[in-house]
């Protein structure tokens, strides 16, 4: 029969890789708890209009990357390409913004129809942090400090922090006019994408990844020269706090980010390891978004990191994470032994909630089960044959611990295992 292939750019995470994913997610959850960020889970599907309005019509994501389809009643739905729009929508839908402050986080799959390559997939996964109701720059700094602490906890090195300020919509309008003037003068040098954006959102041209445009972009009018005084002070405040905390950064005046909703602070943690897929964690302030979505205008700032890219860094930096082996492999041979063994295993799990016990299910000789026990990496084997079952004992056999094989009465087994494995 013809095999059903997986969808291009959508990957299975096999158990040997999942350990690293769990590690990243667990450390992130610990840090979110430590900083007072609460989990907010939002749907994978939203109305297409949400992303169009939030991310912007003239962005790569909305122009060509969204998985959009009509449901049975003809409504246009889109698989979320990022989390911020959904979180902002949820904050509005649930009335969480009136006179309130919130710090949220979420994690899970995002969908973008990009060309798959190393570190770039069509279903990928983000960890996402957002703060609502804070004017900053204190919270902008805190979000960056949180991410810096995550790299430290994970043991990832070599990431550099780039920051910039996009100012307010007003200061951007002035800058926009200068950009249009500049790029119109060089229109023949632009590629098709950029020419289209010249009319729609010329700031987007600065985000182009086309190397042929690099020099032209370098010479373009800089936002920094058009920044309003308040945005300048906000940006200085952020820099001060990063300096206070000893977090190194570079100011990259060409950092504009690929989404339209940003104002003031934008930043990216980048690696030099992989060419164009260099962003590991990106974010910024989006004070206008909630209002734009019809909510009560609310200041907001956040970031998202790509779990695949973080896991890739862990691997490449030799910080591979291996799954924890079971403490115990339970060898059970014979019909009576298998029935009793299953019961004993449950009793042991009652006695030791942290015990990792793999039962030798599916039958097989002592020899084949010991082979499985060895392969499992377990520290100890419990051995139960029909003879032992009749006597009410098991054999405890150290596999990766010192000591000799010993017979233990079933009633004493939980206590003996607890001592041997130092289970808390
Ligand atoms: P890039 O410049 O690499 O396209 P981006 O600016 O589109 O990234 P964001 O939309 O800010 O990225 O998403 C935040 C993070 O999600 C990125 O820093 C990156 O780690 C990760 N990411 C984005 N797109 C993908 C993808 N297609 N596959 C895997 N990870 C991704
Ligand atoms: Mg992108």
CB distance 113 to 66 below 8 Å: yes
What is the atom index within ligand 1 of the atom nearest the CA of 268? 18
Alpha-carbon span 61 to 53, nearest angstrom: 12
Cα 176 → chain centroid: 33
State if pTM tops 0.85: yes
Token output for 372: 């499985």
Token output for 87: 């979180």
Find the 65 Cα to ligand 2 centroid distance in Å.
9
Checking if the pLDDT of 96 tops 70, the result is yes
Among protein residues, the one whose CA lies closest to atom 29 of ligand 1: 120
Give the strand order in the sheet containing 357-359. Answer: 357-359, 328-333, 380-385, 393-398, 406-409
Model confidence at 199, pLDDT cuts 50, 70, 90, reads confident
CB distance 182 to 165 below 8 Å: no
Ligand nearest to the CA of 126: 1
Find the 320 Cα to ligand 1 centroid distance in Å.
22
Calculate mean pLDDT across residues 250-266: 84
Find the 309 Cα to ligand 1 centroid distance in Å.
9
Q: Which residue has the tokens 């708890």?
A: 33
Among protein residues, the one whose CA lies closest to atom 9 of ligand 1: 282
Calculate mean pLDDT across residues 259-265: 82
Is 306 near ligand 1, meaning CB less than 6 Å away?
yes
Checking if the pLDDT of 129 tops 90, the result is yes
Alpha-carbon span 13 to 21, nearest angstrom: 9
Is 372 near ligand 1, meaning CB less than 6 Å away?
no
Checking if the pLDDT of 314 tops 70, the result is yes
Residue with more model confidence, 201 or 96: 96
Among protein residues, the one whose CA lies closest to atom 2 of ligand 1: 279
pLDDT of residue 407: 95
Calculate mean pLDDT across residues 5-23: 95
Checking if the pLDDT of 198 tops 90, the result is no
What is the atom index within ligand 1 of the atom nearest the CA of 280? 20
User: Which helix (DSSP H) or strand (DSSP E) does residue 144 occupy?
Assistant: helix 138-154
Give the strand order in the sheet containing 68-70. Answer: 45-47, 76-79, 68-70
Burial of 317 (0-12, 13-18, 19+ CB in 10 A): middle
Strands 76-79 and 45-47, by their bridges, are antiparallel
The per-residue pLDDT for range 28-51, each reduced to its tens digit, is: 999 999 999 999 999 999 999 999
71-75, 83-87, 284-288, 420-424: lowest mean pLDDT where? 420-424
Checking if the pLDDT of 163 tops 80, the result is yes
Is 126 near ligand 1, meaning CB less than 6 Å away?
yes
Rounded (10°) CA dihedral 296, 297, 303, 307: 30
Calculate mean pLDDT across residues 61-88: 96
Alpha-helix residue ranges (DSSP H) falling in 265-306: 289-292
CB distance 52 to 80 below 8 Å: no
Calculate mean pLDDT across residues 303-327: 93
Q: Which of 337, 417, 408 is nearest to 369 (CA)?
A: 337
Alpha-carbon span 420 to 424, nearest angstrom: 11
Checking if the pLDDT of 200 tops 90, the result is no
Is 309 near ligand 1, meaning CB less than 6 Å away?
yes
Find the 107 Cα to ligand 1 centroid distance in Å.
14
Is 183 near ligand 1, meaning CB less than 6 Å away?
no
pLDDT of residue 257: 74
pLDDT of residue 272: 87
Ligand nearest to the CA of 309: 1
Calculate mean pLDDT across residues 14-33: 96
Among protein residues, the one whose CA lies closest to atom 4 of ligand 1: 277
Find the 66 Cα to ligand 1 centroid distance in Å.
14
Residue with more model confidence, 100 or 223: 100
Alpha-carbon span 238 to 199, nearest angstrom: 33
Ligand nearest to the CA of 304: 1
pLDDT of residue 208: 82
Ligand nearest to the CA of 122: 1
Checking if the pLDDT of 259 tops 70, the result is no
Checking if the pLDDT of 394 tops 90, the result is yes
Q: Which of 118, 148, 154, 63 is nearest to 278 (CA)?
A: 118
Ligand nearest to the CA of 118: 1
The per-residue pLDDT for range 399-412, each reduced to its tens digit, is: 998 888 999 999 99
Find the 279 Cα to ligand 1 centroid distance in Å.
6
Alpha-carbon span 379 to 15, nearest angstrom: 20
Calculate mean pLDDT across residues 332-339: 95
Find the 282 Cα to ligand 2 centroid distance in Å.
10
Ligand nearest to the CA of 279: 1
CB distance 45 to 71 below 8 Å: no
The per-residue pLDDT for range 272-281, each reduced to its tens digit, is: 888 776 899 9
Alpha-carbon span 261 to 286, nearest angstrom: 5
How far lies 36's CA from each of 103, 170, 241, in Å? 7, 33, 19
CB distance 383 to 394 below 8 Å: yes
Phi first, then psi: what are they for 282, rounded to 5°? -140, 150
Among protein residues, the one whose CA lies closest to atom 12 of ligand 1: 282
Alpha-carbon span 255 to 252, nearest angstrom: 6
Q: Which of 377, 387, 382, 376 is nearest to 414 (CA)?
A: 382
Residue with more model confidence, 156 or 206: 156
142-156, 163-177, 225-239, 355-369: lowest mean pLDDT where? 163-177
Find the 180 Cα to ligand 1 centroid distance in Å.
27
Find the 276 Cα to ligand 2 centroid distance in Å.
10
Token output for 8: 């291009």
The DSSP call for residue 295 is S
Checking if the pLDDT of 258 tops 80, the result is no
Residue with more model confidence, 92 or 424: 92
CB distance 104 to 37 below 8 Å: yes
Cα 215 → chain centroid: 33
Calculate mean pLDDT across residues 185-204: 86
Is 281 near ligand 1, meaning CB less than 6 Å away?
yes
Alpha-carbon span 83 to 67, nearest angstrom: 15
Is 213 near ligand 1, meaning CB less than 6 Å away?
no
């Amino acid at each position: 029969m013809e095999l059903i292939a997986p969808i291009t750019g959508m990957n299975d995470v096999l158990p040997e890789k999942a350990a690293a994913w769990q590690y990243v997610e667990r450390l992130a959850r610990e840090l979110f708890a430590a900083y007072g960020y609460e989990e907010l889970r939002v749907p994978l599907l939203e109305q297409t209009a949400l992303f169009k309005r939030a991310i912007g019509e003239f962005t790569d994501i909305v122009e060509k990357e969204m998985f959009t389809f009509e449901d049975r009643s003809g409504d246009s739905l889109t698989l979320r390409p990022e989390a911020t729009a959904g979180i902002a929508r949820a904050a509005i839908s649930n009335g969480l913004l009136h006179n309130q402050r919130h710090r949220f986080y979420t994690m899970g799959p995002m969908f973008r129809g990009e060309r798959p390559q190393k570190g770039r997939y069509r279903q990928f996964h983000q960890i996402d942090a957002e703060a609502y109701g804070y004017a900053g720059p204190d919270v902008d700094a805190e979000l960056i400090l949180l991410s810096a602490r995550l790299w430290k906890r994970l043991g990832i090195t070599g990431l550099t922090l780039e920051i910039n300020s996009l100012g307010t919509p007003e200061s951007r309008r002035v800058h926009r006019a200068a950009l249009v003037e500049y790029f119109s003068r060089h229109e023949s040098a632009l590629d098709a994408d950029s020419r289209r954006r010249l009319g729609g959102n010329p700031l987007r041209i600065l985000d182009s990844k086309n190397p042929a445009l690099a020099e032209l972009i370098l010479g373009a009018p800089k936002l920094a020269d058009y920044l309003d005084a308040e945005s300048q002070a906000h940006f200085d405040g952020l820099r001060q706090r990063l300096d206070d905390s000893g977090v190194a950064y570079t100011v990259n005046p060409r950092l504009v980010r690929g989404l339209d909703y940003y104002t003031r602070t934008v930043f990216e943690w980048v690696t030099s390891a992989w060419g164009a897929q260099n962003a590991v964690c990106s974010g910024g302030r989006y004070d206008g978004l909630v209002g734009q979505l019809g909510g009560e205008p609310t200041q907001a700032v956040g970031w998202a990191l790509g779990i695949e890219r973080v896991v890739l860094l862990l691997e490449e930096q030799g910080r591979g994470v291996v799954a924890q082996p079971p403490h115990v492999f339970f060898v059970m041979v014979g019909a009576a032994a298998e029935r009793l063994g299953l019961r004993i295993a449950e009793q042991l799990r009652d006695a030791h909630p942290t015990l990792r016990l793999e039962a030798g299910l599916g039958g097989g000789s002592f020899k084949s089960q010991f082979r499985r026990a060895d392969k499992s990496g377990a520290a100890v084997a419990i051995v139960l044959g029909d003879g032992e079952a009749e006597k009410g004992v098991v054999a405890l056999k150290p596999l990766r611990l010192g000591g000799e094989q010993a017979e233990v009465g079933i009633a004493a087994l939980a206590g003996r295992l607890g001592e041997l494995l130092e289970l808390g």
